[in-house]
Each structure stands twice: as C-alpha cells, then as structure tokens.
Amino acid sequence: MCNLYSITSNQAAIIALFRVINRYVGNLPPMPGVFPDYPAPVVRNDQGEREMIMMRWGMPPPPKSPWPPVTNIRNTSSPHWRGWMKPEHRCLVPANSFVEYAPEPNPETKKKDPGLVRAQ
C-alpha cells in the first residue's frame, strides 16, 4: 500500500461500514499520520465474526533483514511471503487518505522532489 496514511473517521463510522461485531481498540482518536510500525486499527475475521483491533502497520521483514516492517510487497512469489498470502492473514485497513513517494522531478523547480503525492 503506502508508507503513510491517515485514519480520521470515528469508531462508529468504521463499525457501521465494515459491520464489526467486536472491537478492542479503546477510544480511537483521529490519527492524521500512521507510519510503518505505528499501531493502528484493522478489521479482520476471527472465528467467523469481524473484529476491530489495533495492530502494527507493516509486515514482518524477511529474516536477517536490517529493514523495518515492510509496507510494499512486490515479490509475492518469495518463500517468505507465501505463508502470509493465505486468507486467515487478510485484513481491512481503514484509511481516509494516503500518500506515496513521488520520484519524478517537481515541474516547478525541475529538481527531484522527495515530497509526497497525496491521494484521497
């Protein structure tokens, strides 16, 4: 997905939209910046019922990797990711907006801009 997103919808809106039965997130304040390794709400199935819980943003990196949690998995045929691709590991990540890195030059300055492209 991305390396930064926001979740500003309230708990009631998320529960209604995804038909959540159980919720274990406590008070859910607006989260304008969710970065890799930050806790954030997700909706998942547990024994046939949808629940909303807090989880860390990202996937565990491959063994012996010096990198933080992975948020963009490109090689789904890698042995490390095969086990994570099963339905029991799937979840919904509520988000109101996200940003992606833009490696293209900024049209105004003609320089590489490490800025972000916003999408909503």
User: Where residue 105 falls among pLDDT bands split at 50, 70, 90?
Assistant: low
Burial class (CB in 10 A: 0-12, 13-18, 19+), 95: middle
Mean pLDDT within 34-49: 90
The yes-or-no verdict on residue 40 having pLDDT over 90 is yes
Mean pLDDT within 89-96: 91
What's the length of the chain?
Answer: 120
The yes-or-no verdict on residue 81 having pLDDT over 50 is yes
Q: Which residue has the tokens 């003609």?
A: 110
**CATH 3.40.50.300 is held by the domain 4-94:** no
* For the chain, domain boundaries: 4-94
User: Where residue 110 falls among pLDDT bands split at 50, 70, 90?
Assistant: low
CB 38 within 8 A of CB 29: no
